[in-house]
Amino acid sequence: MSFLTYLSIFLLFNWLNRAVKMTPLSFKWKAVLGIGQGAAAVAYFVLKKPLSDEVHLLIGSIALGAIIKYFNEQEDFKSFRSYFESHYPLIAVGILIFLISIIAPGFYDEYDQYFLLPLVAAFIWVISRWAASKKQREELLLYKAKNEELDRLVAERTAEIQNQKEELEATIELLQNTQQQLIQSEKLASLGELTAGIAHEIQNPLNFVNNFAEVSSELLEEMNQELAKGDLEEARYIADDIRQNLEKISQHGKRADSIVKGMLQHSRTSNGQKEPVNINNLADEYMRLAYHGLRAKDKSFNSELVTNFDNSLPEVNIIQQDVGRVLLNLFTNAFYAVHQKQKEIGQTFRPKIEVSTRLQHNNIELTVKDNGIGIPEAIRDKIMQPFFTTKPTGEGTGLGLSLSYDIIVKGHNGNIAIESEEGNGSVFIITLPII
């Protein structure tokens, strides 16, 4: 009877030894398990002779119990616990058989052969638990392997995503830089358009400065002659003319000055400072600049310029160079539209650009109206989008209206509205709050 118990001990060491083979645990446990295995076999055969089968069984059972207790406490064999615990019935049956043989030797001797049955059953239970736990551990290993694979994949993906994120961040930075450069080049492009207009606009006041200065020096000579003749009245008359001329010189000098200042302001990066500005003057200045800019390219072009300014308008707090850029853009577009129409229809078409201002509740409303080609309905929603342009490549950046929209709506809490009829012209209405 004790054979099954010792066999169980032997198998326990043997199976554990096989289970830890080829694992990191092998090095630590190989010797212990090998010795345990041999000791079980030796103990069985050594103790078989001198001891009765029942005492032999008791010693085997107690040894098995001690071994189980020991292994149960080892962290390394945590996953074998259900197998270890399957030995409890075998131990209990072994001890019970010994106790019965002591307490009721008569009964025991009579039914001696039946006591083998529970012992065999308990042994079969141990073996079945081993098989189950083996399967479980194999599954566990498989699962672990899968888990590791999954972890590896996740790590791989994470690295990939991290890389993509970094790439995207670099791209965004590049885009932001490019956007800044585009805004700058849009400014330069419109400055280029301005240059011819500015040259003309500066030339005119300079001509007056030169002419009035020359005529004044001639007048002084004449005045001296009159004084020599004693014609004081005529001399005084001439002096008055000279005074008026000096005023004209100063006036035209200032005009040239403000044009140069405006040009510098236009090309400078906006400092974001809002200051009170007379919208009428600003609109007038940029309408002329845009007009002369186009005329510098096509000298045959001519347009009627109409201004309907409300002279009672209060000054409005705006970033002058930003709103100036918007106005230049609107006027350039308007002149472009009438110019295109003139190319289509011919000289019988009379281009007309009209700029109006008025006070509307607490807003200043500025309207730029042209009788040009108009905006087809299909693209009316798109014209404020960045990079949308109907002009041939190289003629427009497609940023003009988009920047204008940002400046008026985001920068000044205003609004840009568009009314247009294809073939008949467009109206752009800018609203700016006074406060």
Partner 1 sequence: MKILVVDDEVDVQPLFLQCFRKEIRNHVFDFDFAFSGEQALDYLKDKHSEVVLILSDINMPGMSGIELLSTIRKDYDNPPPLVMMITAYGDEETHANALQLGANDFLTKPLDFNLLKEKLNTVLHNG
Q: Do 363 and 434 contact (CB within 8 A), yes or no?
A: yes
Is 322 or 370 the residue whose CB approaches partner 1 more closely?
370
d(CA 342, CA 306): 18
Interface with partner 1 by CB under 8 A: which range of 84-92, 137-145, 238-246, 310-318?
238-246
User: In 3D, which of 435, 402, 391, 397 has the Cα closest to residue 185?
Assistant: 397
Assign 101 to helix, strand or coil: helix
Is 333 or 402 the residue whose CB approaches partner 1 more closely?
333
Longest Cα separation, the chain: 175
Q: Which residues, numbered 242-271, are part of the site for partner 1 (CB under 8 A)?
A: 244-245, 248, 252
Degrees, nearest 5: CA angle 98-80-115: 20
Torsion-angle region of 185 (φ positive above 0: left; ψ -120 to 50: alpha; else: beta):
alpha
In the complex, minimum distance from the CB of residue 294 to partner 1, in angstroms, rounded to a whole number: 12
In the complex, minimum distance from the CB of residue 202 to partner 1, in angstroms, rounded to a whole number: 11
Degrees, nearest 5: CA angle 131-135-139: 170
Q: Burial letters for 158-172: b for 16+ Cβ neighbours within 10 Å, e otherwise?
A: eeeeeeeeeeeeeee
Is 249 or 326 the residue whose CB approaches partner 1 more closely?
249
In the complex, minimum distance from the CB of residue 231 to partner 1, in angstroms, rounded to a whole number: 12
Q: Pick one of 304, 344, 381, 421: the residue that binds partner 1 (CB under 8 A).
A: 304
Q: Pick one of 187, 266, 295, 339: the residue that binds partner 1 (CB under 8 A).
A: 295
Q: Which residues, numbered 166-225, are part of the site for partner 1 (CB under 8 A)?
A: 200, 203-204, 206-208, 210-212, 214-215, 218-219, 222
- Binding flag, residue 336, partner 1 (CB under 8 A): no
Q: Pick one of 11, 305, 384, 429: the residue that binds partner 1 (CB under 8 A).
A: 305
Q: Which residue has the tokens 């079945």?
A: 128
In the complex, minimum distance from the CB of residue 200 to partner 1, in angstroms, rounded to a whole number: 6
For helices 320-345 and 116-229, the axis angle rounded to 10 degrees is: 80
Q: Do 305 and 287 contact (CB within 8 A), yes or no?
A: yes
Interface with partner 1 by CB under 8 A: which range of 59-67, 156-164, 241-249, 394-402?
241-249
Rg (CA), the chain: 52
Positions touching partner 1 (CB under 8 A) are 200, 203-204, 206-208, 210-212, 214-215, 218-219, 222, 241, 244-245, 248, 252, 291-292, 295, 299-300, 302-305
